[in-house]
Structure formats: C-alpha cells, structure tokens
Amino acid sequence: MTATPEVPVRSTPDGAVVDARPAMQRRLERWLGPALELGRQGPPLLRSLIALVGPRAEVRFVAAAATAHLGWESATGKFIIGVGPAMLGGSLKGPEDLLFVIAHELVHLMRGEHTLPPGPAAIAYNLAADALNDAWLTGPAFEGFFSPTTSLPSRRTVASPEIALLLPAEAAAQQLGVVATGPETSRLFFERIVGPPVPPGAVPYDPRAWAVVHQALHVGGRNDTLTLDVAARLVMPLLSQLPSPPRTGLMLSIEAQRALEALRRALSGEGRGPRAGGRRPEQSTPEVTRARASRSLARFLRGLVDASPGTAQTWSARGLELRPADGGSQPGRRSLVEYRAGLRATPWSEGVPRGGEGPFGLSVYLDVSASMWQELPPIIATVGTACADLLSLPVMAFSIEARPVSLRELARGRLPTDAGTDFSALARDLLTRRIARAVVITDGVAAPLPDELVRALRARGVRLAVVFPGRSGTSPLDLYCPRGWKLGLGLHDRRW
C-alpha cells in the first residue's frame, strides 16, 4: 500500500539533523537474506511464496513509500515489493518482521488485490484486504508459523479504529489481560482500548458494530471463508462513522497481467510461464470437482458458525492454543532449532492443547440413503476431517431412521442406513433433541412431511441449512431454510 511518506531523521550529539534513509536502506539489505532464509524453513505454502522472490519478484528499498507497496518493472519483468524508510525505522524490529511484510505483499499479489480500481470504496477494500491477509497468514493455512500473539500484526500501535480492525483477536485479548472469547473480546477491545472517536455530524459511533466486523474479518480471514467483496461491504459502513477518512493509499495497479498469470501458475506448480493462447483453461477432472466441492462445503459450514454469535461465544475449538515463547517476538537460535525439530508450533510461540468437542457447534444431519451413496465420500471426508472442529457431536445419519455417528465411524465410512429416505425421522430427532438450527446434507428426494410435524417445527422456530450434492434445488425442507442457507456442491455435474 502507498501513502505520503514522512522522511525519517535522527539527531547527532551536536544537534545536527541527519537524513536516516541511507541507514534504513542498509538495514533492509542486512535483514533481507535472514528473512528469506527463515521463510525457506517454514511451512510449504510459505516456502512456495518465498520462492517467488528472485526469479519473479524483488524486494527493494523505496524512499517514497511510507509503508510497503507493490509495483511492476517492465525492464526486468519482475514485480517489485517496495519497503519504505518509515516502516524500516518503526514497526519492523528484525528479519522475522520483514518476512511477514514480504509474505503479506505476495498474498496481495497472488489474490490480484494490487489491481483494485480507484474510487470511493478503495479505502474499504484496502483495509479489508489487509485484515483478511494478515488473518490468513496467522491462521491454519500457514500451520501457525506466524503467531497471532507475538508476530508483527499483534504488535501494532492501535492509534485508530481502522488499525484496530487488523489486530488478531488473540492479541487484543492479550492487551486486555483476558482470555480470548470471540466477540466478547472484540467488544471489550473496542470499548476499552480504542474508545469512541468524535462522531462526525449525526452519525453515532457504535463500538459494538466495529467489534462484530473485527470478529468477522479475523475468523473469516483465518479460515479463508470471507471474500474480499463481502469484507469490504462490512467495512464501508464503519468508515462513515469516523471523523475523517483513514490515511490509506491505493495498491498500485499494474499492466503485467501475463506475468501475474505466470507467477500464479508457478506457485501452484503448473508450469514456468503463461500459455501463448492466454489463460490456462481450468481442468475438469473428478479430483478437481471433488476438491472444489470440499472447499465450498467447508466455507459454507464455517460461515454458518461465524454468523451465529451465540455459538461463537460458547463454543471452543479443539487443537492447540498458541502462547508466546519465552523469547517473545525475537526468535533465537534455540527456538529455531526446536521449530525445525518439530518441538514447537512456530519460532515465536509454543502450542498448548486446549478445548474439547464443543457441544454448542453445528448439528449436522447426513442423508445416507441409497441415492446419496455415490456422493458421500468427499462429503464425509470434509465434515469429519476439515470441519470436525465445528461439529456438535455426534453427527446424525438418517434414512428411514436417524442414528448417531461418531467421528471415528464417519472417518471409516461406517454409516448405518435403511436405503430409503424419510424426512420424518429427521424432524422427530430435531424435536426430541430440541435443536433449533442444523445443517442437512441431502439430495432432497423424499416425501413431504406430515402436517403435525410441519406445525411442530414451525412452532419451535427450526432453521435448516440445506446442502445438495449436485445443484441447489428444492426439497420438503424449504419451509425451514432461510434465504442464503442453500448450497449446491456440483458433484452431479460430472461422473467420477
């Protein structure tokens, strides 16, 4: 991103003022090698990103940049990651911080966010893109390499609400000295630390609205379930509450679309350059279809969890909680050796087990009738593995009857079935267990529900998210499915 730079200066003992930019340039040159080497020791996705530096991208000192930005140099055919003097003399404390900045800019590049058009919404898009990318880098996609409590994003100086949106929830909780509890942590953060600014005109500043958006950006960015367009639309109303627009510049637009395509293909291992005929056509193999369906289902399920504040406040994910290592944000020789040996989750933090099987997660009902058998393998793999931390156990398998299924049975594909389909079994189980919200994965092929069950479900206020293996269609469950709670996975579109 770009902004109006402030020239860094320093005073000598005799009071003279000296331009500090040459020193900042030497600092970048000194840090760059160790930063890239640290990245080469990271998880596979980080190593793939860092491999682009050199053959396809170059990191340079740019005196006119206040922070960091992207550019294109036609003479060399490379993308330029420009780092400014104010950033080198301020927020960056060492090679590990520089590595995060390089990875952050490369993620912008890979997602095409450097080509965002200028306009009234540009600030919101830039802010949302920064928040999503920072969250993604500190999330599971990078295996916890960048700690959300001790790496660069967690050490931001919170000078304004728009900067606070970029701070991970764990770091906000750490600043408050409380245990991270989702939306409650965000609310406390914005009310106690940021505080309300002077409202512009008649528009009231609502810290709770900022807290909700902060939580959505953080969770959606970590899980890669929130699109940039949706994130920007969440941020836009917040910016209208500020006394003045934040000082945020535009990501540089470039003309090198062919080079960008080659860079993306290099990251995915598809080749060394672009096809002469233009964009490489997407493959349509059964494996690609299943992978696309799995990603779509995982994003849909995580989006349902994120959209339910009540669930998020009471549900604790299983896995590891990252806590700062004794050395803080500066990895030492011992921490790096232990990281390479697999003895710690990141060079900056240690993984401590926490949580359990959250009883307040998503209730999932899986249609195991004969008409579903062909599509079940990728579905149960996604539900039982990629989304296991979201579930309220047990998962319920239904056909003529509804029966509980453990995660172990789900992973083995050992599902009880009566071959046929009867939604009455699903309805009776919902009513018996007093479940008001659930996900039903079905092809929708079944008779309508009896009138008494229809009335009982309506009286209970049951809401159902319905997932179809093929295209999104109609079913007897439409009466209980809110708008936007349907998903078609597309598994029927091709034989596999």
Q: For residue 59, how many other CB atoms are within 10 A of its CB? A: 22
Instruction: Establish if 426 belongs to a structural domain.
Output: yes
- The rounded distance, in Å, linking the Cα atoms of 106 and 56 is 11
Residue 2, amino acid: T
Q: What pLDDT, on a 0 to 100 scale, did the predictor assign at position 426?
A: 92
pLDDT digits (tens, 9 = 90+) for 445-490: 888 899 999 999 998 889 999 999 988 888 889 889 988 898 988 8
pTM of the complete model: 0.54
Say which range, 246-260, 355-369, 441-455, has the weakest mean pLDDT.
246-260
* CATH of residue 383: 3.40.50.410
Assess whether pLDDT exceeds 90 at residue 99.
Answer: yes
In a domain, 412, yes or no: yes
**How far is 81 from 101, CA to CA, in rounded Å?**
9
Query: In the predicted model, is pLDDT for residue 256 greater than 50?
Result: no
Average pLDDT score over residue span 94-110: 89
Please report the pLDDT score of residue 63 as a whole number: 82
In a domain, 369, yes or no: yes
* 121 occurs within a structural domain: no
Could you tell me if residue 86 is inside a domain? no
* Domains identified in the chain, total number: 1
CB 99 within 8 A of CB 92: no
Is 430 domain-assigned?
yes
* CA distance linking residue 251 with residue 69, whole number of Å: 7
The pLDDT score that the predictor gives to residue 159 is 74
Determine the Cα angle at 448 with ends 458 and 396, to 5°: 75
The amino acid at 89: G
Q: What is the per-residue pLDDT across 376-401, written as a single tens digit (0 to 9) for each?
A: 888 888 888 778 777 887 889 898 88
Helix H segments across 138-256? Answer: 161-164, 169-176, 183-188, 207-223, 228-239
Q: pLDDT value at position 13?
A: 47
Domain coverage including residue 399: 364-488
pLDDT at residue number 332: 62
Lowest-confidence pick of 69-83, 105-119, 193-207, 433-447: 193-207
- Please tell me the distance from the alpha carbon of residue 186 to that of residue 194, in angstroms, as a whole number: 11
* Mean confidence (pLDDT) of the chain: 74
Instruction: With cut-offs at 50, 70 and 90, classify the pLDDT of residue 123.
Output: confident
The pLDDT of residue 308: 53
Predicted local distance difference test score (pLDDT) of residue 131: 92
Lowest mean pLDDT among 109-113, 359-363, 382-386, 447-451: 359-363
In a domain, 276, yes or no: no
Q: What confidence tens digit (pLDDT) does each residue in 204-231 have?
A: 778 878 888 888 888 888 877 778 888 8
281 vs 17, residue with greater confidence: 17
CA 351 – CA 355 distance, rounded (Å): 13
The average pLDDT across 344-362 equals 53
Tell which residue, 424, 476, 475, has the closest CA to residue 448.
Answer: 476
Question: Who's near 405: CB < 8 A, 6+ residues apart?
Answer: 366, 394, 395, 396, 397, 414, 415, 416
**Residue 372 within a domain:** yes
What confidence score (pLDDT) does residue 261 get? 53
